[in-house]
Amino acid sequence: MVAFCRSFSTARSSLRSVLPGQLSLHAADGDLRRPYGYSFPFFEDRQQLETRLVSLLDGCRGLPQLKQVHAHLYRKGLDQCCYVVTKLVRTLTELGVPVGSYPRAVFRQVERPNPFLYTALIRGYAAQGPFGESVGLYASMREEGVGPVSFTFTALLKACGAALDLNLGRQVHAQTMLIGGFGSDLYVGNSLIGMYVSCGDLGSGRKVFDEMLHRDVISWTTLIVAYTKTGDMASAGDLFDGLPVKDMVAWTAMVTGFAQNGKPREALWFFERMQDARVETDEVTLASVISACAQLGASKYAKWVRDVATKSGLEPTENVVVGSAMVDMYSKCGNIEDAYMIFKGMKKRNVYTYSSMILGFAIHGLARAAMQLFDEMVETATKPNKVTFIGVLVACSHGGMVDQGKKIFSSMEERYGVVPDGDHYACMVDLLGRAGHLNEAFKLTETMPLKPHGGVWGALLGACRIHRNPDIAQIAASHLFELEPHAIGNYMVLCNIFASVGRWDDVSNVRKLVRGKGLKKNPGCSWFESEKGEIHEFFAGETKHPRSSEINKVLEDLLERLKGHGYQQILSSVAYDVSEDDKKRILMAHSEKLALAFGLLDSSENCPIRIMKNLRICEDCHSFMCAVSHIIGRAIIVRDNVRFHHFNGGTCSCGNFW
């Protein structure tokens, strides 16, 4: 094996001295020439010929070139040389030639294939499928008395992982130990970890890792990524801390893991550490950091990340991945104008760029701008995908554009070849429900060709909250309690619906159900970013803030001024059977109101007040923000967990479709 590796390394090195180009075989004289005037040299010995042929195969960029090298291989009597034929098979599979056709035919013509030739074909099936052929080849190999090499097992394990066949993977694992000599092989160990992780057996993957005598960064990173995908960031962090040399891939795995698991602050903190360690940043890392900024909605971090992108040579106008991510980030930070400036400045746009901008317009209540951009996208021959249509349907939903939404939905498959999935049906239920067509929305959930998932029933439940329909709400909630038994938000929405129509016994029953399941309500939380970039968090009913007395005074003054303009608190927003005075007190302690009062204390008079909230804004707070924007003459921007609300002059951009 050592001799083979050295020979193979020599062959690869010699590639650098070979000029690329298409080979031409002339039947008349049998000479092999290059079309650009380079003739195939005379070889003094077989080894030199083998090395040169392998180099030529390595440089092949298409099937015609490869066939000509193959023809010369036959003319020189090397059709039984496993060293050259192995390279031929590998090059064929790398060019995408189906393994069962040309590569398999080449393999059959070799009388005594060695383990490397077997492995080349096994690897081809592992990459292309059918995966079962890999195992069949391995069985034939063992029957012929040919011993496997480490790469044989790495290919087999890759096939098991791709097929998600844990049982077969365990059998291959057993083979690595029974045959002997592979238990301590680094590449086999890494492949075992990858197989177990792919098949969902993270515990066995960790056991393999713990028992490995030698590990490299791949060993660590594979497990770190696996832990992040399960949401176990503590285990991922422990592994990361123990990694001797932390490269860009390992850092990116942690940043991405935190971002994908809804922990944007931790993602940004890790990225800051990565910058301090002077580790190179690529577009994948930046996309994850940008996602974290979008979740947090803080413009301070958005500016910082853009500076990092520019310094790293990944300017959003030049890099479509970074640019598309920044369009999404600025939209979710409330800066739709900056998002559109990025979009317009990009030299290249793809479907993700357009989809991000369309969804950005949609969540900011700019439905017509979203629809106009969709029309422009279609005119550029950029084919819309599933995400694009979600953005378009969300725009129609938040803009009350029922007829246009129906038209778009019906054209998805017929005109654009995009089959609607559960998320698109959820958008349609939301569109119909928000507009008051509850019976039609309910009928759609019953007749849709797919089984409705939680998003579909959740959209229907949300529509019932808007229009205070407890009967359909009960049906939607019953499905949600089965599909998402631990999602406390569904129970709370049903409580609010019952409370809004005075059905307090039903409210009490739902609360008993919540207590019986041991569920805890997520506290309402809002945060405000000061002009200095500091983020101040407020929880509902909070009294521990250093400036609580000032905040309460501002709210009291606002309430008195609003009453003079006819404002009345919407007591039905409180899902508790308590006195009116208690309801008024509870409403004034909602987190977004506390954040607003602090924003008035801590910002310049001409600046808009931007507030982020983890839950949906309640009806009373929505009415309150509208009224405040009128009496103070300032814009108030609130992002809840559904969309943006731009309050200005007493009205909201949502047009009450929220």
Instruction: Give the pLDDT score at 358.
Output: 96
Average pLDDT over residues 537-563: 89
For 52-94, the pLDDT digits (tens) are: 777 777 777 778 877 877 887 777 777 787 777 888 888 778 8
pTM, two decimal places:
0.74
CA distance 497 to 62: 65
Collect all residues with Cβ–Cβ distance below 8 Å to 145 and sequence separation of at least 6. Answer: none
E strands, 16-143, in order: 24-25, 32-33
Q: Determine which of 143-152, 379-388, 627-636 has the lowest per-residue pLDDT on average.
A: 143-152
Q: Give the torsion through C-alpha atoms of 119, 125, 127, 130, to 10 deg.
A: -160
Three-state helix/strand/coil letters over 364-386? CCCHHHHHHHHHHHHHCCCCCCH
Long-range contacts made by residues 579-588, C-beta under 8 angstroms, separation at least 24? 586/541, 587/618, 587/620, 587/621, 588/555, 588/559
- What tokens appear for 578 in the block? 């308590």
Is 466 exposed, middle or buried (CB count within 10 Å of its CB: 0-12, 13-18, 19+)? middle
pLDDT band at 656 (very low <50, low <70, confident <90, very high): low
Report the Cα 475 to chain-centroid distance in Å: 32
Collect all residues with Cβ–Cβ distance below 8 Å to 256 and sequence separation of at least 6. Answer: 228, 267, 284, 285, 288
Instruction: Give the pLDDT score at 416.
Output: 92
Cα 247 to Cα 201, 228, 331, 399, 614, distances in angstroms:
26, 17, 31, 47, 34
For 417-440, the pLDDT digits (tens) are: 999 999 999 999 999 998 899 999
DSSP state of 612: E
Q: Which residue is associated with the tokens 């924007």?
A: 629
Is 414 exposed, middle or buried (CB count within 10 Å of its CB: 0-12, 13-18, 19+)? exposed
- What tokens appear for 31 in the block? 């000479």
Sign of the alpha-carbon dihedral angle for 225, 227, 232, 238: negative
CA distance 391 to 327: 14
pLDDT band at 312 (very low <50, low <70, confident <90, very high): confident
What does the DSSP assignment read for 416-438? Answer: H-----HHHHHHHHHHHHHTT-H
What does the DSSP assignment read for 234-263? Answer: HHHHHHHHH-SS--HHHHHHHHHHHHHTT-
**Size of the chain in residues:** 658
pLDDT band at 657 (very low <50, low <70, confident <90, very high): low
Bond prior to 115 in cis (omega within 30° of 0): no
> Which residue, among 339, 275, 344, has the nearest Cα to 312 in the 3D structure?
275
Instruction: Give the pLDDT score at 162.
Output: 87
Yes or no: say if 292 and 267 are a contact pair by the CB < 8 Å rule. Answer: yes
Collect all residues with Cβ–Cβ distance below 8 Å to 163 and sequence separation of at least 6. Answer: 131, 132
Average pLDDT over residues 182-200: 90
- Examine the pLDDT at 28 and tell me if it is beyond 50: no
**H or E element: which one contains 526?**
strand 525-529
CA distance 194 to 154: 10
pLDDT band at 43 (very low <50, low <70, confident <90, very high): very low
- What tokens appear for 511 in the block? 């609360």
Yes or no: say if 479 and 457 are a contact pair by the CB < 8 Å rule. Answer: yes
Q: Which residue has the higher pLDDT, 10 or 112?
A: 112
- Examine the pLDDT at 4 and tell me if it is beyond 60: no
pLDDT band at 163 (very low <50, low <70, confident <90, very high): confident
For 94-150, the pLDDT digits (tens) are: 878 787 787 888 888 887 888 888 888 888 888 888 888 888 888 888 888 888 888
- Please list the alpha-helical segments (H only) found in 261-298: 264-276, 283-296
What does the DSSP assignment read for 637-653? Answer: EEE-SS-EEEEETTEET
Q: Which residue has the higher pLDDT, 447 or 18?
A: 447
Instruction: Give the pLDDT score at 84.
Output: 78
- Examine the pLDDT at 21 and tell me if it is beyond 50: no
Average pLDDT, the chain: 84
SS3 566: coil
Triad 137, 169, 199: Cα angle to 5°: 130
Q: Determine which of 72-81, 199-208, 491-500 has the lowest per-residue pLDDT on average.
A: 72-81
